[in-house]
A and B are shown apart, each in its own frame.
Chain A
Amino acid sequence: MFGETFLTTTVDTVLKWARKNSLYPMPFGTACCAIEFMSVVSSHYDLARFGAEVVRFSPRQADLLIVAGTVSCKMAPVLKTIYDQMAEPKWVIAMGVCASTGGFYDNYATVQGIDTIIPVDVYVAGCPPRPEAVLDAVIKIQEKIEKEQHAPLF
């Protein structure tokens, strides 16, 4: 009697659908990659097309940490604290070779990849990566969210 007006689904599916289309990124911009991130969120490349335009500068309000830039050893505890402050569920993109591996800063002062401090979901190559590559990383995060076995409720 309701015709085609109903759609049956699971809570899981709805949660994942909501999460993947409303990512709140928190940029941890420490160097030149952060400039490139600005163009990712600006009108030309427009991260809003993927539902992730609400950039938050408080870790409490974000669920996608985008580490854009070189992380020095002195900065490492700060990055770890910010990651810890983000509420679950949360995801991390290492944007650029600096965040991914230390890049060409193979020296005494630079963290050789943020995965030595915090878990990383997607690495983006490039110095800096093109905005398309960052968009691609966000899409990969979305795919990852969609494929999660059980989306944690809280």
Chain B
Amino acid sequence: MSETTCATAAEVGLLLANRFADAVTEGPGPVGDTCLYVTPEKIVDVVRVLRDEQRFDFLMDETCVDYPDREPRFEVIYNLYSLSTGVRVFLKVKADDSEPGVPSITPLYRAANWFEREIYDMFGVRFAGHPDLRRILLYESFKGHALRKDYDATLRQPLIGPADGPDHARRHG
């Protein structure tokens, strides 16, 4: 345990930047939030420091954004919050959809289990060490990843029933 708990997100950012010199860089914080880019190799360590030393006891959200023009094209975003100090920090990890993927933080936060499954379902980003990386919202036979920017918005993949019934033709024909 570190002796000090940072009182502001900026202090947390400074602490992480010092501790993980090469792995943590400042990211965009357009609305005043503290946002840090973390390399995939170090994300588990960074999150562990936040959880164990800085009392970030709440993984509010873990999500993803697709930037088709970038390389790598995805950013996984961690929204960590401390209920005791009221500090919030965003972490971002750049990722592609290759194996083995971004290290899973499920061992640290059980809430990450379903978040990461949802990211896998919607974007196809994989998480190394995830205990149960399956689709969570869509069905196993669904092809592709629906929230990627290049997923055709008019594509229909019904489990049963006609894929291109009259309704489909009327709307998209």
Q: Give the B-binding residues of A (Cβ under 8 A).
A: 73-74, 76-77, 80, 101-102, 106-109, 111-113, 116-117
Tally the A-B contacts, defined by beta carbons under 8 Å: 47
Whether B155 pairs with A111 at a CB distance below 8 angstroms is no
Q: Give the A-binding residues of B (Cβ under 8 A).
A: 137-139, 146, 151, 153, 155-162, 165, 167-168, 171
Known contacts A74-B138, A74-B139, A102-B167; is-contact A108 B146 (Cβ 8 Å): yes
Interface of A: prevailing SS: loop
Interface centre among A77, A80, A101, A109 (most CB of B within 10 A): A109
Chain B, residue nearest A113 (CB): B167
B165 — which chain A residues lie within 8 A by C-beta? 112-113, 116
Whether B168 pairs with A112 at a CB distance below 8 angstroms is yes
Tell which of A107, A108, A109, A111 touches B161, judged by Cβ atoms closer than 8 Å: A111
Whether A109 pairs with B138 at a CB distance below 8 angstroms is yes
Interface of B: prevailing SS: loop
CB of B158 to closest CB in A, whole Å: 5
Tell which of B138, B151, B162, B171 touches A106, judged by Cβ atoms closer than 8 Å: B171
B139 — which chain A residues lie within 8 A by C-beta? 73-74
CB of A103 to closest CB in B, whole Å: 12
Known contacts A76-B160, A117-B161; is-contact A112 B167 (Cβ 8 Å): yes
Known contacts A76-B158, A80-B160; is-contact A109 B171 (Cβ 8 Å): no
Other 18 A-B pairs with CB < 8 A, given A74-B139, A106-B171: A73-B138, A73-B159, A76-B158, A76-B159, A76-B160, A77-B159, A77-B160, A80-B160, A108-B153, A109-B137, A111-B161, A112-B156, A112-B165, A112-B167, A116-B158, A116-B161, A117-B160, A117-B161
